[in-house]
Amino acid sequence: TVNKELIFMYWHIGKIIVDNSKWGNKFINNLSIELKINFPNMKGFSERNLLNMKKYYLECKNNDNLQKLSEKIPWSHNILIFSKIK
């Protein structure tokens, strides 16, 4: 259940990044800083991981089955799989 919620949160953050892509990479940098400040006890808000969240969202946004299947494996496995997708 925790993994499912984490994956959903990452999907949602990816959506926010895509929705604000007009601001460019500076948006991702600023978002990373703000998330780290507001949630100091949480990890996973590096710029690189935010870019992974964006890629994850773009791959899953139109495929509910893929999103449901990806919730069953850890985030690091999702990153590995989506990094292999062209």
Report d(CA 83, CA 20) in Å as an integer. Answer: 22
Does 24 score more than 80 pLDDT? no
Q: Write down the pLDDT at residue 30.
A: 92
Please give the model's pTM, rounded to 2 decimal places: 0.86
Tokens 């990044």 map to which residue? 17
Distances (CA, A) of 60 to 5, 39, 41, 66: 15, 26, 28, 6
Q: Tell me what the mean pLDDT of segment 63-85 comes to.
A: 88
Q: Read off the pLDDT band of 22 (50, 70, 90).
A: confident
